[in-house]
Amino acid sequence: MGILLANGQLLDEFGKLIKKDVLVEANRIVRIAERIEPDGHEQIDLDGLFLSAGLIDMHVHLREPGFEEKETIATGADAAVRGGFTTVACMPNTRPVIDNVETVQYILQQAKAAKKARVLPYGAITVRQLGRELTDFAALKETGIAGVTDDGVGVQTSGMMKQAMLRAKEWGLPVIAHCEDESLLPGGAALHDGEVAARHGLPGIPSESESIHVGRDILLAEQTGVHYHVCHISAKESVRLVRDGKRAGVNVTAEVTPHHLLLCDEDIPDSLDARWKMNPPLRSRADRAALLAGLKDGTIDIIATDHAPHTEAEKANSIDRAPFGIVGLETAFPLLYTYLVLSGELTLAELIDKMTAKPARLFGLPYGRLAEGEVADLVAIDLEKERAIDPDSFASKGRNTPFAGWKCKGWPMLTMVDGEVVWRQS
């Protein structure tokens, strides 16, 4: 017998919410109708909750192997389903680096054992992410990677990036790029090179350290024909380059994080709390406006969290010594729904598309759609319930968020992966 999700609110083709029942059998959605008789199926009354395809996050850090004190695949996958994510793609900057078949297999095994969100590992572009030697793309693809990236560091030389793109094109893999030219980074820089860094007498991270790599890589992608995807885009110049690349017919896509959409460097408190330190940094108000405009006009394709947990001890250090990164899996949807949808910047349908169907289409994944015959990855969300973000309630080991105390609506209440309920708010 199946599971009948009754009395949910689904988006119709016009973006309006309509009441529907959804019947799941095995791992598929087999029927959607205004009324479905229980007929012996297990019934879950959603009582008007919004029902969506499960969210997809193509950029998270699960830290295992090597940094289990920050996060494990099990705790990260648990945090994912509590945030409504049914599929996440994890970055290779672990120890060992995900640059070999054995580490990919280990991650897939740990994710399967966790029985929470589906985890898709990325393989490193270069061995140990050192930028000197390409990994074995063919073997990594056969083992199950979602793409190749050296996220955490940028590929510094154009020649190595071109070789990577040619190899990735040959094996049908996307190249996901952390864009950062290290020759433009002053030592100890932790904040955007703007007024806030200057006021505190700190060296800043210039926008061009990102946008120069974006421009270089778009030209290389044009030459090689590979699918080139820009990680966590943050600078207005980068948005302009991606827009121009798309207009020129280059296969370039981009992602933006919730924190870059909602915050800018002016929001950083004078205490310089390291929970506001991330890479790329929070940039200027003008950059934030360009990111939102790019998301709305389709230049930026999808939203990804760049979930990056660290220990509380690490983040207790001063801003120049603490590691970069904040967590995001358990707060992304409520933040974006409250501060972009309810504020009128995006419609609910637009937000859902950028967090479900669009990432699935970009990366060729058979998920992200709520329709008969599709994989039953689903999330039920309470769009009315309001509560404050409480890091102490996170399933993630990471508590490092600048959004603590923010009041949000749109909290996930139930998550189903492959037809099984893997988490339900008690």
pLDDT digit of tens for each residue in the chain (426 aa)?
899 999 999 999 999 999 999 999 999 999 999 999 999 999 999 999 999 999 999 999 999 999 999 999 999 999 999 999 999 999 999 999 999 999 999 999 999 999 999 999 999 999 999 999 999 999 999 999 999 999 999 999 999 999 999 999 999 999 999 999 999 999 999 999 999 999 999 999 999 999 999 999 999 999 999 999 999 999 999 999 999 999 999 999 999 999 999 999 999 999 999 999 999 999 999 999 999 999 999 999 999 999 999 999 999 999 999 999 999 999 999 999 999 999 999 999 999 999 999 999 999 999 999 999 999 999 999 999 999 999 999 999 999 999 999 999 999 999 999 999 999 998
Closest CA to 257 of 386, 355, 380, 124: 355
Closest CA to 399 of 319, 336, 307: 307
Helix 208-224 / helix 158-171 crossing angle, nearest 10 deg: 50
Amino acid of residue 180: E
- From 99, 217, 306, 353, the catalytic residue: 306
Is 382 part of the annotated catalytic residue set? Answer: no
Angular region, 237: left φ>0, alpha ψ -120 to 50, beta rest? alpha
Largest pairwise CA distance in the chain: 69
**Token match 């929470």: residue?**
116
Burial class (CB in 10 A: 0-12, 13-18, 19+), 220: buried
Identify the helix (H) or strand (E) that includes residue 196. helix 195-199
pTM strictly above 0.85: yes
